[in-house]
Amino acid sequence: TSCHAGGAPTSVAGFATDMATLKDLLVAKGAYNATTNAFTSNTVPIKVAQAAWNYALLLEDRSNGVHNPTYAKALLKNSIEALK
């Protein structure tokens, strides 16, 4: 928070909701285990694997979308659409 004293930019609004949506879709597709909060070793279609990669990238960044919010939101939106 010290590097973002003014708070998160408005462009990250809805980030947590979109992350939860993507997580739920990954669980439904068998790529993520909600109980253990870990990726599964299941074989999944490439679009699911790509969405899982994007989820892991955003999760491990730990900035909640603050670091490059436009890119973070685009990854989320594209990943969600690919899994619907």
In tens, the pLDDT along 41-80 reads: 999 999 999 999 999 999 998 888 887 889 999 999 999 9
Taken in order 40, 45, 51, 56, is the CA torsion positive or negative? positive
CA atoms within 13 A on the CB side of 35: 2
Compute the average pLDDT of residues 7-20: 80
Amino acid 9: pLDDT: 62
User: Taking the complete model, does pTM exceed 0.85, yes or no?
Assistant: no
Rounded Cα distance between 77 and 67, Å, is 16
Could you tell me the two tokens for 43? 């074989």
Residues 44/52, Cβ–Cβ less than 8 Å: yes
Amino acid 59: pLDDT: 92
Q: Cβ–Cβ contacts within 10 Å for residue 52, how many? A: 22
8 versus 34: the higher-pLDDT residue is 34
